[in-house]
Amino acid sequence: MNSPDNPLYQYVNITGLDEGPLVSIDPDSSGFGLGNGGGASLQRLGWQITSSSQNALDAGNYLEFVLTPITGYSLNINSVSMQLKRDGAGPQKVSLRGKIGNGAWSGDLGNTASINAINFLPANFSFTGFSNITQTVRFRILGYDANTTDGKLFIDNLGFGPSSSLPVELVRFNAVQQDHGAMLNWSTASESNSNYFSIERSSNGTGFRPIGTVTAARNSIGFQQYSFFDERPAAGTNYYRLNMVDQDGSSAYSPVQAIDLRNRQVVQCYPYFCTDWVNLKFATPSEERIPWTIVSAKGRQMLSGTLPADAETASLPVDQLPPGTYLIVLQYSAGRQTLRFGKI
């Protein structure tokens, strides 16, 4: 479920709140919340009699909610706030625990909250360790010290702060192949305390590493246009993303763009006629190990090996080959490249 009102939070999906009526989503500058502050609230029934938050976790005495950032964005959460009330038999104490992705559940986050049986009282759980998260985040509200097994807990004005917001409002980002590399272009509609853009590249869409930076406008209203030229893209498909970094060090990722460079000549073979060694020169170091094979004109495999990752040059021994024409086949994960040379 997405916030309909505030574009800063449209990339956060909230699920898991199925224990009672979801009244409204109320975003503001410090985060976003659930509930309307009135009589309606989230309710969890049937709390068992447990004496600690760990016992409550083990017994299933919790209400879980899930935040999932849309691909390309990250979450920064340092507090969860809410208003709590119980009936006479409901849990008297509440703790909060969290979990990132498939990791382990944390210990109690912040202080334990004591619950009033008459009025809603505010509870705020402050913590660290949930910054720049691109995976699903789960939080569990753990209730314990209940008097009976049929008590009720009421939760209103549930909020997360600060949820991540982009240091810039990115409106366009694309990657275009050019004769000698890849041109990246992007535009922003506004920027607030932005610092710089870190351009990152990957050959498989998961393992990214920085290849350059561009200084941001810091504070602006109106369109700003940026570009970056990658002179040495890898063979095959190249994946690009922007890491948009704020003045305070917080950051968020752009969506990923991909271009296919399988037809681009990324390796030079020299000299064409050789006696002992044939040399390879890469336009850009490969991010992966590259298996190679030397094949005769009749298709017979003569030699083979593997080039290390990040190699810029390589020399292959050919002194044992009989004179003739040969092919060097480089096998990438995204395709292959074939080079020709002559042995004399």
pLDDT single digits (tens) 217-241? 888 877 888 999 988 887 778 889 9
The answer to whether 191 and 216 are in contact (CB under 8 A) is yes
pLDDT of residue 44: 54
Show me where the domains of the chain are located: 7-161, 168-261, 267-343
Phi, psi of 53 (to 5 degrees): -65, -35
The answer to whether 191 and 274 are in contact (CB under 8 A) is no
- The answer on pLDDT for 199 being more than 90 is yes
**Which of 307, 188, 284 has its CA nearest to residue 238?**
284
Fold matches, 168-261 and 267-343: yes
pLDDT of residue 34: 38
- Model confidence pLDDT, tens digit, residues 48-64: 667 777 777 777 777 77
Extract the tokens encoding 14: 């909230």
Which residues lie across from 328 on neighbouring strands? 294, 339
Confidence of residue 4 (pLDDT cuts 50, 70, 90): very low
Exposed/middle/buried for residue 188 (C-beta within 10 Å: 0-12, 13-18, 19+) = buried
pLDDT of residue 210: 93
Please give the angle made by the CA atoms of 232, 238 and 242, to the nearest 5 degrees. 90
Cα dihedral value 286, 290, 296, 301, nearest 10: 180
pTM (2 decimals)?
Answer: 0.43
Confidence of residue 205 (pLDDT cuts 50, 70, 90): confident
- The answer on pLDDT for 27 being more than 50 is no
Q: Which residues contact 29 (CB under 8 A, 6 or more apart)?
A: none
What would you measure as the largest C-alpha separation in the chain, in angstroms?
95
- The answer on pLDDT for 316 being more than 90 is yes
DSSP 293-331: EEEETTS-EEEEEEEPTT-SEEEEE-TTSPSEEEEEEEE
Tokens 């619950």 — which residue? 115
**Which of 277, 288, 279 has its CA nearest to residue 335?**
288
Q: Check: CATH 3.40.50.12280 for 7-161?
A: no
Q: Check: CATH 2.60.40.10 for 168-261?
A: yes
pLDDT of residue 227: 92
Q: What phi-psi label fits residue 320: left (phi over 0), alpha (psi between -120 and 50 degrees) or beta?
A: alpha
Mean pLDDT (whole number) for 81-105: 85
- Model confidence pLDDT, tens digit, residues 256-271: 888 887 655 567 888 8
pLDDT of residue 45: 55
pLDDT of residue 334: 61
pLDDT of residue 21: 31
The answer to whether 116 and 86 are in contact (CB under 8 A) is yes
Q: How far is Cα 176 from Cα 133, in angstroms, rounded to an integer?
A: 29
pLDDT of residue 36: 35
Extract the tokens encoding 136: 């699903």
Residue range 267-343 forms a domain whose CATH class is mainly beta
- Model confidence pLDDT, tens digit, residues 151-181: 777 777 777 765 444 567 777 888 888 766 7
